[in-house]
Amino acid sequence: MPDASKMTNRPIKRGHKFLNTPGPTHVPDRVLSAMHRQTMDLSDPEFLAASMSCFEDLKRVFGTEGEIFLYAANGHGGWEAALVNTLQPGDTVLVPETGNFSNSWSNMTRQLGINVETIPGDWRRAIDPAAITERLQRDKTRQIKAVLLIQTETATGVTNDIPACRKAIDAAGHPALMLVDTIASLGTIPYRMDEWGVDVTMAASQKGLMMAPGLGICAASEKAIKVHQAQPGNRAYWDWDTRMKAEHYRKFCGTAPQLMIFGLRAALDMIFEEGLETIFERHRVLGAATRAAIDHWSGAGAVELNCLDRLHASDGVSTILVKEGYDADAIRTLCRDEMMVGLGGGLGDLSSKAFRIGHMGDTNASMLYAALASVEATLCYLDVPHTPGGVTAAIEHVVAAKKRLGATTF
């Protein structure tokens, strides 16, 4: 047997590892167990029933009567699926810049031969809906075919107001499709696709949905399907038309990721047992508790919450800026390797300047305290100035919420 301690040159650690990255997130044991089973005939009735019920139940999570498409892929697969099914090379799209994820999605869009116009953003505030209206009003010849939006920009910890963006498009009387990335927000904060007039929504399994990474999801409105059908396009694996055919195997363009579907089934059961509204409340309280800790630490001037507009602070992920002279990557690495708490790093313009605490999915107050205490311990260890007692500030917030709400799921 290889000696793990010699291989890594680190002592073997006992006890739980905590995962506070904003995706992947902690997977509940019940979901893990649901995946631990034998594969089966492609048309086994038990599998078909589980699979079809996932397609139906995902509609409830998205808040849509539209079509659901499930891919053996990740969020990037969902992005590409949305693009190639509704746009053509040579088309133009409008992307309000929110952070590293809007930039990455823009880059993918360009790689597909689609022109991208951006509305610059400062990475610390939400999208300004008025800027969308202003740009679309100037598009007299209707060159812009779609507006690409991200509900929660995971790099910055800022949540955008999607209904306000819808109103902004309508105010310009512009027919562009509205595509929304909810990869980091679905199942953590309210999302109502049909009511808000969204045409295509993308999600992935490994964040608020409490599943392992490996499934990319798209939901498409009737309008999006019509636009799709009017276009030829070079697409095969991602193609919606094929996946809307009656035969079940076509829904996955081949063999279904069976065990992941059983896992997703268990995760959806857990979501409906807790109830979406209760889930949102849990995330609201844990998000605010995290911010209470960060604000407390920031008293010493070396760390601060990136999001400047508190109404738009994400309840699923908090991005913490670290003052120049202190190493954000060292905080993240030490917290993972020494404290056994996985955090997100700074992305894009924020690389080495920020770290991120995920508080989404299968989590509760005690798990959050463990993460916050470990971050505080890491700040101590690395001599990063902070006002001690951030964890107590978080506890006080949660206790007040529990007293106000009575029996809670956190």
Measure CA 95 to chain center: 18
| Per-residue contact flags (x/-) with ligand PLP for residues 23 to 52, judged by CB under 6 A | x-----------------------------
184 sits near ligand PLP (criterion: CB under 6 A): yes
The crossing angle, in degrees rounded to 10, of helices 258-274 and 276-297 is 80
Measure CA 292 to chain center: 22
Minimum CB separation of residue 232 from ligand PLP in Å reads: 27
Instruction: Determine the interface stretch with ligand PLP among 176-184, 260-268, 295-303, 325-333 (rule: CB under 6 A).
Output: 176-184
The only residue of 149, 183, 217, 391 in contact with ligand PLP, by rule CB under 6 A = 183
Minimum CB separation of residue 342 from ligand PLP in Å reads: 15
Minimum CB separation of residue 128 from ligand PLP in Å reads: 19
**What Rg do the C-alpha atoms of the chain give, in angstroms?**
22
Instruction: Determine the interface stretch with ligand PLP among 179-187, 330-338, 368-376, 382-390 (rule: CB under 6 A).
Output: 179-187
101 sits near ligand PLP (criterion: CB under 6 A): yes
| Per-residue contact flags (x/-) with ligand PLP for residues 367 to 396, judged by CB under 6 A | ------------------------------
Burial class (CB in 10 A: 0-12, 13-18, 19+), 350: buried
Burial class (CB in 10 A: 0-12, 13-18, 19+), 276: middle
Tokens of 79: 């992005």
Minimum CB separation of residue 81 from ligand PLP in Å reads: 12
76 sits near ligand PLP (criterion: CB under 6 A): yes
- Residue 320 main-chain phi, psi, to 5 deg: -115, 120
129 sits near ligand PLP (criterion: CB under 6 A): no
323 sits near ligand PLP (criterion: CB under 6 A): no
Minimum CB separation of residue 326 from ligand PLP in Å reads: 25
DSSP for 157-225, written as a single string = TEE--HHHHHHHHHHTT---EEEEE-TTTTTTS---TTTTT-SEEEEETTSTT---S-EEEEEE-HHHH
Minimum CB separation of residue 148 from ligand PLP in Å reads: 11
Tokens of 93: 């799209």
From CA 173, how far away is CA 156, in angstroms rounded? 30
346 sits near ligand PLP (criterion: CB under 6 A): no
The residue written with tokens 């409008």 in the block is: 94
Instruction: Determine the interface stretch with ligand PLP among 71-79, 89-97, 161-169, 287-295 (rule: CB under 6 A).
Output: 71-79
The 3-state DSSP class for residue 351 equals coil
Give me the residues that bind ligand PLP (CB under 6 A), please: 23, 74-76, 101, 150, 154, 181, 183-184, 204
